Structure 1
Amino acid sequence: MASKFVSVATALVGVTLLSGCLGIKEHKGYVLDKELASAVQVGVDNKASVEKTLGRPSFTGQFNDSDWFYVSRDTKSVAFRSQKVTDQEVLHVHFDQAGNVAAVNSTGKELVVNISPVDDKTPTLGRKRSFFDELFGNIGALNSGALAPGNAPGQ
């Protein structure tokens, strides 16, 4: 009886530990409806009709608002690892000067780039200062002539 209890408890602990390795799936951003996206037509629609059909974009162009982006991303993360992109869709709607749709482009996961930052220090110019140099280095460096009577600003 005791060995059966131990084996059941061990199995439960094992299942509990392995459940953390299943991963978490998340959807981030816009929920893209392909039928609505295909309804946006070049030369027919304008900003108002696109906003009425698709809603406000995820973000607009950085330098002007003639580019609208609808971004949808699905990710998966396992335990303590980084998130991995499993699916991504970006709908780019470009407008002309009059506000009419000039182009509609759709891209996927092929534009996702994984960047691995390096933990090395960034080299800087100048001299190296220790903690105590930074802390006590400015003592006595104040120009005492600047605080003399008659030299204060506004006098």
Structure 2
Amino acid sequence: MPSHKPKLPVRPVRLIVAGMALALATSGCTQLKGRQGYVADPALTQAITPGVDNRESVEKTLGRPTFVGQFGTDEYYYVSRETRQLAFARPRPIDQQVLRIRFDEAGNVAAVDRTGLELVSKISPEGDKTPTLGRERSFFEDIFGNIGAVGAPGAGAPGGR
């Protein structure tokens, strides 16, 4: 006697296959989160007080700064940034904190400034090509434009004497 296996109707099989395809397609769109720079502890950063702390106490409390002021050592910067990235796209900043600590001539904290994501700007370069001065050359002029120029007699080539 032949055994008959019950067949699934075509419609549920299609739904299962479509569901699996959808799950595979959306699994490639994962979201990656990243953190760069100083990991700020709000309790420690709030503890820095102008007129009370000095350069040494700031370094003991917060550690070495991310970078020091460009024109001297009277400013410390602690920078942290969180980014989000979808699949293969470029990371976008979702949060940023910059803690700037300014010191007076004696090395005491003069001011503490905090800024956030409002100072992040997107810089868009000039199209896909770098603008240059000079004449426009076609694709073939770029490839074949120097044929005959290198090593030509009188052009200063070593064999042209």
Tell me the TM-score normalised to structure 1 length: 0.76
Cα distance in 1 for residues equivalent to 2:83 and 2:24: 23
Task: Report what 1:150 is aligned to.
Answer: none
Q: Please say if 1:61 is aligned against 2:69.
A: yes
Task: Report what 1:105 is aligned to.
Answer: 113
Q: Please say if 1:43 is aligned against 2:38.
A: no
RMSD over aligned CA atoms reads 2.6
Cα distance in 2 for residues equivalent to 1:81 and 1:90: 25
Unmatched runs of 5 consecutive residues or more in structure 1: 145-155
Task: Report what 1:116 is aligned to.
Answer: 124
Q: Report SS of the residue matched to 1:103.
A: strand
Partner deviation per Cα, 1:3-31 (whole Å, 9 max, x = no partner):
44553343123112112224212122111
Per mean C-alpha deviation after superposition, the further-off stretch among 116-125 and 85-94 is 116-125
State, as a whole percentage, how many aligned pairs show the same letter.
40
Unmatched runs of 5 consecutive residues or more in structure 2: 1-7
> Residue 20 of structure 1 contacts residue 78 of structure 1 at CA under 8 Å; is this kept in 2?
no
Equivalent residue in structure 2 for 1:92, among 76, 80, 100: 100
Write the letter of the residue equivalent to 1:121.
Answer: T
Q: Report SS of the residue matched to 2:121.
A: coil
Partner deviation per Cα, 1:78-125 (whole Å, 9 max, x = no partner):
123222211111101111222221111000110010112221331225
Structure 1 residues 13 and 53: alpha-carbon distance in aligned structure 2, compared to 1, 3 A threshold = same
Bigger CA radius of gyration: 2
> Residue 150 of structure 2 contacts residue 157 of structure 2 at CA under 8 Å; is this kept in 1?
no
Tell me the TM-score normalised to structure 2 length: 0.74
